[in-house]
Amino acid sequence: MTAPGTAAPRTGALPLRPRMRPEAAAALLEKFPPRTLPDTWEATALSRAALTGRLLAPPYAETPWQLNRRRLALRRFLGWLERQPGGTWQQRWQASGIAGDGAADWRPEVMDWLTAAGDPGNRTELLKSVTLGLGQLIYADAIRPGTQWLVSSPVRFPLGREMPRLRDSAGFATLKECADRAGISHDSCRLAVEDLSVIIAAKGGTLADITVGDCLELTEARDARHGRRGKGIGFYPLLHATGLLPADAPATLRMFDPRFQGQLTTAELIGQYDLACGPVRDLLASYLNERQPAIDYATLKQRAYLLGKLFWKDLETHNPGISSLRLAPDAAIAWKQRLQVKTVTARDAAGNATQAAAERIDVAGCLTAVRGFYLDITQWAAEDPARWAQWAAPSPVRREDISAASKTVSRRKSRMDQRTRERIPVLSALISVVDQGRKDAAARLAAATAAAPGDLFTAAGATLRRTALISTAGQANGRTWAGDPVTGTRRDLAREESTAFWTWAAVEVLRSTGIRVEELTELSHHSLVQYRLPSTGELIPLLHIAPSKTDVERLLSRPSSPTYSPPSSPASATAAAPFPSSSPTTSTSASSPRPCPCCSSTASAPTAARSAPRRSAAGSPPRWKAPASLTPPGSCSPSNPTIFEEGSSRPTRS
């Protein structure tokens, strides 16, 4: 198999981010290789009579109607498969010609042979029969089609139902018990069982025989089939938690994900787009390496997307075999025309996806990036001809092509202003909705916590029944479940309350401080600092905003801040050191305070540890700004709050 970090060719519109770096994948596969199929095993070497007898006996066939249907399906499929060369059923399967391409529908070939042999069944009956026949051989371990074949096959076999029943009932029962103890939902456990059943069907054995390499092989096959990162790999940590993997196996494969190992390299950024021309792919990576010191990572990723995806990948798609930056005039004109539109996917209320063409807004940005790329190569060719001269070529983007760039900025500002004008009238409604949603979610959670498992309770206008889970009597890992007695839908009330609270918190912080969303996501408990006035000893709580888009470090203070008396102990005196200080503000309330909405890193804190925040007399939190005692008269207004730069005592405008 190839390393999971190596992407297979695909046609999806989205780049496939590697699940792990190639060197990490290679090391993991070397230590935990996937299993290889042996030449023969007990079930595949059985004679036709012995195999039929096994499949027509319990537990495979349990009722008379199952017996008759299975007997007919086996007679038909084994009759066709027995004609293939080979000494075992697996060898005959490999020689049949349909084992190599799982994406192809193999059933018409089998049905045509049966019809030619005089089988009286109609096409619909034969279709169901040969499908059932192959399924029985897979369940009985007479045939192991392979992971890639099972994942890409258009015929879906109920492996998640049959494998636990027929092949490893004890192992799957232990797996489900572990899932219950961990509080894993029924749907997540079902998906994990289906994934592990695919591995057993493809490799044989039981859950205890599965290796880390088998799991990586399944993940790679799914990604290659979907053309992008497919479903998650939740089956792996569950298998590890059950104790069926080696003790030195990683507890989760997420730790190898590049997203959790720092920034991607320029080669990895360009490699996401599967460029066919290797020299151009290396050139783009080298170009980004040269530009990397002068730009931030977000800009680097955007530049890789513009040059790798929108420019060169599009040219390769419409001009197969292209390998030169010197574009023909018609190819350049056609590319700029295609750049004007993009394909968007929308879903209706029923979840059906439809694709439509839409105008691309930032065309000038892509044209500017491509023109800059060509001009940089030309300039560098004069400075270092040995490295860059072979790639110097006329730019396909002329100066007049990007003359609309100045209009793009004003149009974007106009759209932003229009969105603001549309949303300001409904801001009060938004605040009311999220606040009421927070209160309703808290009421439902409190009522469910007080109710006994199986009892009905009514809260916030909803009547629900407390769900009794077998493992922990209705609560596992802090979750409180309740079901709708009418529809039967099960709801995680603890999660609903947490989501409602942090939604309210985000809205309150954004409207109270005026910070941007990316600044909000960077807030944590470390963002709460304090400053003691030298003249009065008053302790001022400050909100530290880390540098982001504007590259300015800011400190915001809340008006009407409580005055703190001087500390009486050396420890508290150290905590109240003169500004700047990294110690958090100490609350004067004796009760456990609710976490500040700014501290979004504590989103999983239990409800019992949260109480209502301090509010102004008007009922809404005041806007954060510099304290009046530190602000020159007339220098601060609600629309333009005064801020303090780190290490400076002079206020500046935001």
- pLDDT (0 to 100) of residue 623: 46
Residue 327's pLDDT is 95
First CA to last CA across the chain, in angstroms?
56
341 vs 227, residue with greater confidence: 341
Residue 653 pLDDT > 70: no
In contact, 40 and 90? CB cutoff 8 Å: yes
The CA R_g of the chain, rounded to the nearest whole Å, is: 32
Distances (CA, A) of 650 to 52, 94, 625: 89, 79, 14
**What count of Cα atoms within 13 Å lies in the side-chain half-sphere of residue 91?**
10
Which has more confidence, 315 or 258?
315
pLDDT band for 232, please (50, 70, 90 cuts): low
With contact defined as beta carbons under 8 Å apart, do 346 and 353 qualify? yes
- Give me the mean pLDDT over the 157-164 stretch: 93
Report the candidate in 58, 35, 388 with the shortest Cα–Cα distance to residue 201.
35
pLDDT tens digits for range 184-203: 888 889 999 999 999 999 99
Higher-confidence residue: 264 or 115? 115
Q: Which sign does the torsion angle of CA 464, 470, 472, 473 carry?
A: positive
Using CA atoms, how far apart are residues 421 and 639, in angstroms rounded to an integer? 16
Instruction: Pick the most confident of 210-224, 422-436, 507-521.
Output: 422-436
Is the pLDDT confidence value at 448 over 80?
yes
Per-residue confidence at 587, pLDDT binned at 50, 70, 90? Answer: very low
Mean pLDDT of 401-420: 80
pLDDT for 278-314, tens place per residue? Answer: 999 999 999 999 999 999 888 999 999 999 999 999 9
Task: Give the per-residue pLDDT at 651.
Answer: 35
Picking from 222, 260, 261, 218, the residue whose alpha carbon sits closest to that of residue 239 is: 218
pLDDT at 515 over 60: yes
CA 142 to mean position of chain CA atoms: 37
Q: In the structure, what pLDDT confidence band is assigned to residue 21 with cuts at 50, 70 and 90? A: confident
The answer on pLDDT for 649 being more than 70 is no
Lowest mean pLDDT among 182-186, 216-220, 259-263: 259-263
- Residue type, position 471, single letter: S
Note the pLDDT of residue 49.
93
pLDDT of residue 470: 53
Query: What distance in Å separates the CA atoms of residue 395 and residue 373, rounded to the nearest whole number?
Result: 9
Q: Which residues does residue 481 pair with via DSSP β-bridges, in sequence order?
A: 492
Residue 603 has pLDDT above 70, yes or no: no
Average pLDDT in the chain: 80
3-class DSSP state of 529: strand
Other Cβ atoms closer than 10 A to 570: 8
- pLDDT recorded at residue 370: 96
Nearest alpha-carbon partner for 312 in 333, 284, 285: 284
- pLDDT of 234 strictly over 90: no
Quick one: pLDDT band at residue 204, thresholds 50, 70, 90? very high
- Residue 109's region, left for phi above 0, alpha for psi from -120 to 50, else beta, is alpha
Q: What is the pLDDT of residues 47-68, one digit of tens each?
A: 999 999 999 988 887 777 778 8
Q: Give me the mean pLDDT over the 640-652 stretch.
A: 36
Residue 59: is the preceding peptide bond cis (ω within 30°)?
Answer: yes
Domain ranges of the chain: 21-37+146-259, 41-143, 266-346+355-403, 409-513, 524-602+620-653
pLDDT band at 231 (very low <50, low <70, confident <90, very high): low
pLDDT value, residue 559: 56
